[in-house]
Chains A and B, each alone.
Chain A
Amino acid sequence: MTLARQRIALTAGLTVLVALAAASATTLGPAARRMPLVVALPTLALLVLELTRHLREARVEADDPAARRVETVTFAWLGGLVAGVWLLGMLAGLPLFLGAYLRTRSREPWTVAIGMALCVWVVLFGVLDYALGIQMHDGLLGSLLGRWRS
């Protein structure tokens, strides 16, 4: 996708979102819809203006394929992070993500990868979970395991 197309897609996506918000606001009561409509309608008008400007610009800017590949891979890793936390929980998912990223993507030595993952685990478990009493998310597998044990 060229940069111009990406720009159009971004603005069009925002326009659709704000239009949906404005439409959804009309279903609210008179007091609750006042502020949403006061904000959504001018924002929608400005978005349409911006979208028209983008469509009129006939710029063809080539996107750098190498940069696009890095972009895709980075977002895939972030998707992995979210999935890992959801599935394995914070205490296992986050150190695992950090160690794996440092070792495979950043090509850091094993010692650095394992050392930093361990440090993160100590902060998560020792400081946040144990000392400050912030209950860490167990993850889907953790909850299933807990239910199976009980």
Chain B
Amino acid sequence: MLEFTLQAAWEGLGLVFSWPNILYPLAGTLLAMTVAFLPGVSGVTLMALAIPFTLTWEPLPVVLTFGGLVGGATFMGSITAILFNVPGTGPSAATLLDGYPLAEQGHARTAIGCAAFSSALGSTFGILVLIALVPLMTRAILAFGPPELLLLLVWGLSTIVVITRGEVVRASIATGLGLLLALVGHDPLTGELRFTFGSLFLWDGIGLVPMMLGLFSVAEMVDLSVSGRATISKMRGAGALTGSVVDGARAVFANFGLFVRSALIGTIVGIVPGVGGTVASFLAYGHAVQTAKDPERFGRGDIRGVLAPEAAHDAKDGGALVPVLAFGIPGSDATAVLMAALLLHGLAPGRELMTDKLPLVFVLIWSLFLSNWVTSLVGVMLVGPLARLTTLRVRVVAPLVFTLAAVGAFADQQRIGDVVLAFGFGAAGYYMKKHGWPRIPLVVALLLGAGLERNLHITSRLYELGRIDLTARPIVFGLVALIALNLVVPHVRARRAREVRA
């Protein structure tokens, strides 16, 4: 089986790196990177827009192009997170925790360089592990049912609460608020309307895009305007920026153990359907904090806080394709659109695709790999001008960001109410920041809330019907132990630190 997989991987590699095939993923990547800078137009929107143009194409160029489109948009989210404290995507919310403080200290080049190398190497690691594990993968996926998924999401949320330095109560409250916001709209099981207060606008729930734009971009710019700071970077002028891409790359090799462990977390989370990159990034960040000898440095501009989530986020990409291709279970919006594109070209997920058409699966994986490297290399090439953006005057940047936030909030679902929502969240985000309330748990909880509720519903229904025996599921026990560890370890550490001080 391994020999067959290796042969398919080799064949797939040859198909991607041949002329003119290589042009498709390259074009897809560059297009996705360009569009990622347009407010409100996500990689998913671009993929959906691309489907009609590829209807007459053969399956191979479609797979090549979509591999590039999936990989191209992700890294740009990390760049905006590092430079402007604005997470372009859910997973890049973990990168901003240390990436933005680094940019504020004038080390934007180091942070972007580290993010680029970490994500490119992470994607390589994920793909190599994937090739080795493809034969075991199907068994691993089937081991994850609704109770395991539920606990995995709870583990993700508990990690986010724990890593919020010294603010466990407030982080728990923010998580609760995020989950409540995720419940606005239709109940997935009964269709009952919840917390809509008679408003038709709220029937579809609270959008993630207006919330993120408000809580981060708008709030950050209001805060910068109020603080009277001249530029985002506390340094005046591009000449004062320190650090380099080489420093960022060196940081990856200096912390190679952490890189491998983070990439492994990303790969494992990627294989589990319906969990996604946000959990992978935060689990890796949490792991970096919990295993560090000096955890107090995180959140203040520690390069390991950029390295770990970036490695996990890109390492998960290869693994995330397996549930889609093997079982037709998309774990995210992007993989759902990808599945639709494949189905339209007669590539139905399942046994046939994972056996007879396995080379085509590897074409997708290798084009994703190529896309991740191209994105990182272009990111590194642009690091100088991008880092200089942090030295632009706040009084010019702020109104521009307010305008783009309005465009982004509207363009996502083309509802004027989302613009109002974005600026409402902007005010909330500003006051949260001013009074020391963490904003990340709120966003992540909104992102994971729907999955959490769906799996809670299914698990409790199956339990009521006597269809599952929780005591016979070892992964459930493992995850419960990890959640318990998450809750206990910080207290033990704090106690030990107090004893040492005493």
Residues of chain A contacted by B430 (CB below 8 angstroms): 71
Residues of chain B contacted by A107 (CB below 8 angstroms): 395
* Tally of contact residues, A, Cβ under 8 A: 59
What are the interface flags for B179-215 relative to A under an 8 Å C-beta threshold, 1 for contact and 0 otherwise? 1100100010110101100000000000000000000
B389-413, CB < 8 A from A: 395-396, 398-400, 402-403, 406-407, 410-411
- A-B residue pairs in contact (CB < 8 Å), sample of 7: A46-B172, A74-B226, A97-B403, A98-B403, A106-B399, A116-B396, A116-B400
Q: Please report the C-alpha to C-alpha distance between residue A97 and residue B189 in the assembled complex, in whole angstroms.
A: 44
Residues of chain A contacted by B146 (CB below 8 angstroms): none
Residues of chain A contacted by B192 (CB below 8 angstroms): 28-29, 32
B31 within 8 A of A: no
**Which of A31, A85, A97 sits near B457, CB closer than 8 Å?**
A31
B336 within 8 A of A: no
Of chain A, the residue at the smallest CB distance from B412 is A134
Interchain CB contact under 8 A, B49 and A90: no
Interchain CB contact under 8 A, B416 and A6: no
Of chain A, the residue at the smallest CB distance from B422 is A82
Interchain CB contact under 8 A, B226 and A39: no
Interchain CB contact under 8 A, B176 and A18: yes
- Min C-beta distance of B405 to chain A, whole Å: 9
What are the interface flags for A25-45 relative to B under an 8 Å C-beta threshold, 1 for contact and 0 otherwise? 100110110111011101100
A90/B407 contact (C-beta < 8 A), A32-B190, A34-B460, A74-B226 known: yes
Interchain CB contact under 8 A, A105 and B177: no
B41 within 8 A of A: yes
Residues of chain A contacted by B41 (CB below 8 angstroms): 128, 132
Residues of chain B contacted by A25 (CB below 8 angstroms): 194
A2-19, CB < 8 A from B: 3, 6-7, 10, 14, 18
A39/B173 contact (C-beta < 8 A), A29-B190, A94-B406 known: no
**Which of B179, B410, B427, B452 sits near A75, CB closer than 8 Å?**
B427
Residues of chain A contacted by B453 (CB below 8 angstroms): 35
B414 within 8 A of A: yes
Secondary structure dominating the interface of A: helix
Q: Please report the C-alpha to C-alpha distance between residue A36 and residue B407 in the assembled complex, in whole angstroms.
A: 32
Q: Please report the C-alpha to C-alpha distance between residue A4 and residue B399 in the assembled complex, in whole angstroms.
A: 30
A101-125, CB < 8 A from B: 101-102, 105-108, 112, 116, 120, 123-124
Interchain CB contact under 8 A, B49 and A81: no
Interchain CB contact under 8 A, B180 and A40: yes
Interchain CB contact under 8 A, A74 and B395: no
**Which of B183, B406, B411 sits near A81, CB closer than 8 Å?**
B406
Interchain CB contact under 8 A, B176 and A75: no
Extra contacts, 15 of them, besides A36-B195, A101-B402 (Cβ < 8 A), are A10-B432, A28-B187, A31-B457, A35-B452, A36-B180, A38-B456, A50-B170, A81-B403, A85-B410, A90-B407, A90-B410, A98-B403, A106-B395, A106-B398, A132-B49
Binding site for B on A (CB under 8 A): 3, 6-7, 10, 14, 18, 21, 24-25, 28-29, 31-32, 34-36, 38-40, 42-43, 46-47, 49-50, 67, 70-71, 74-75, 77-79, 81-82, 85-86, 90, 94, 97-98, 101-102, 105-108, 112, 116, 120, 123-124, 127-128, 132, 134-137
Of chain A, the residue at the smallest CB distance from B192 is A32
* Tally of contact residues, B, Cβ under 8 A: 53
Residues of chain A contacted by B176 (CB below 8 angstroms): 18, 39-40, 42-43, 46
B141 within 8 A of A: no
Q: Please report the C-alpha to C-alpha distance between residue A124 and residue B406 in the assembled complex, in whole angstroms.
A: 11
**Which of B177, B195, B414, B434 sits near A134, CB closer than 8 Å?**
B414
Of chain A, the residue at the smallest CB distance from B393 is A106
B467 within 8 A of A: no
B225 within 8 A of A: yes
Q: Please report the C-alpha to C-alpha distance between residue A24 and residue B193 in the assembled complex, in whole angstroms.
A: 11
Interchain CB contact under 8 A, B218 and A70: no
A128/B173 contact (C-beta < 8 A), A31-B187, A35-B453 known: no
Residues of chain A contacted by B183 (CB below 8 angstroms): 35-36, 39
B55 within 8 A of A: no
B106 within 8 A of A: no
Q: Please report the C-alpha to C-alpha distance between residue A31 and residue B431 in the assembled complex, in whole angstroms.
A: 35
- Min C-beta distance of B428 to chain A, whole Å: 9
Interchain CB contact under 8 A, A67 and B396: no
B29-46, CB < 8 A from A: 38, 41
Of chain A, the residue at the smallest CB distance from B456 is A35
Q: Which 7 A-B pairs have the closest CB atoms?
A: A43-B176, A106-B395, A101-B399, A32-B187, A32-B192, A39-B179, A35-B453
